[in-house]
């Protein structure tokens, strides 16, 4: 199993989303000790935004790109190749002002490329990153699950599905800014959700007894 872990928090040492993502990876590796792990830390190694320069490079045929354009496209290519190689993707995603961090949005923009990770067909768009399992560790200061204020889950469900990743487990840690007791309860709940999600995945992958 190849695991790709994505850190998107602006915080380094005190990030709840990173800690929960680490917990997911730990439990996955418990089920498969030989699993290989790649970590992409978008805080320490931020990806450039999709700006006019990047668009010009992407829309220029490869053989006509300048060295600078080729280098810019290569940055996105590296993220796409990393994602293609993964069987399991683990995202640590805190809520910032009711949305995903800009660091994660830059990553999503980089991996979403027509003809490479999705394509348009006569029957509509088709995601090309199929067969992957995604775990998303969501952390919020308040409580927004299943409310109109939760724009994160619909967005992530839509974009991941669009790219072909339809097997997604969301883990919620909410109320983290509502006092010590609420924080402790949120983390405990998230740990339980992780156990359930990993156990469910293992049971799906295990062959039926003869």
pLDDT reading at 55 higher than 70? yes
CB 46 within 8 A of CB 10: no
CB 94 within 8 A of CB 9: yes
Alpha-carbon distance of 70 to 76, in angstroms, equals: 10
Rounded to an integer, the average pLDDT of 78-98 is: 97
pTM here?
0.91
Using pLDDT thresholds of 50, 70 and 90, give the confidence band for residue 14.
confident
Domain 2-205: homologous superfamily in CATH: Flavodoxin domain (3.40.50.360)
In 3-state terms, the chain is what percent helix, strand and coil (to 5)?
A: 45, 20, 35
Using pLDDT thresholds of 50, 70 and 90, give the confidence band for residue 208.
very low
Rounded to the nearest 10°, the torsion over CA 187, 191, 196, 202 is 150
Q: Which residues of 30-69 are buried (b: 16+ CB within 10 A; e: fewer)?
A: eeeeeeeeebbbbeeeebeebeeebeebbeeeeeebeeeb
Concatenated DSSP letters of 131-153: S-EEEEEEE-SS--TTSTT--HH
Tokens of 199: 């156990």
What 3-state class would DSSP assign to 27? helix
Rounded to an integer, the average pLDDT of 169-174 is: 97
Using pLDDT thresholds of 50, 70 and 90, give the confidence band for residue 202.
low
């Amino acid at each position: 199993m190849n695991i790709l872990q994505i850190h998107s928090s602006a915080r380094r040492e005190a990030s709840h989303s990173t800690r929960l993502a680490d917990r997911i990876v730990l439990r996955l590796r418990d089920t498969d000790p030989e699993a290989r792990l790649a970590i992409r830390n978008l805080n320490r190694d931020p990806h450039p935004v999709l700006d006019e320069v990047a668009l010009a490079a992407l829309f220029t045929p490869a053989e006509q790109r300048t060295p600078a354009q080729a280098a810019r496209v290569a940055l996105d290519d590296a993220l796409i190749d990393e994602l293609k190689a993964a069987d399991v993707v683990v995202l640590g995603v805190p809520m910032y002002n009711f949305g995903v961090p800009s660091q994660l949005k830059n990553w999503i923009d980089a991996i979403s490329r027509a003809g490479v990770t999705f394509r348009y067909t006569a029957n509509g768009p088709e995601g090309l990153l199929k067969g992957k399992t995604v775990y998303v560790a969501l952390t919020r200061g308040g409580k927004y699950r299943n409310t109109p204020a939760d724009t994160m889950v619909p967005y992530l469900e839509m974009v991941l599905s669009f790219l072909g990743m339809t097997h997604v487990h969301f883990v919620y840690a909410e109320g983290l800014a509502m006092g010590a007791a609420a924080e402790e309860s949120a983390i405990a709940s998230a740990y339980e959700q992780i156990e359930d999600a990993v156990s469910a995945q293992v049971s799906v992958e295990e062959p039926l007894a003869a």
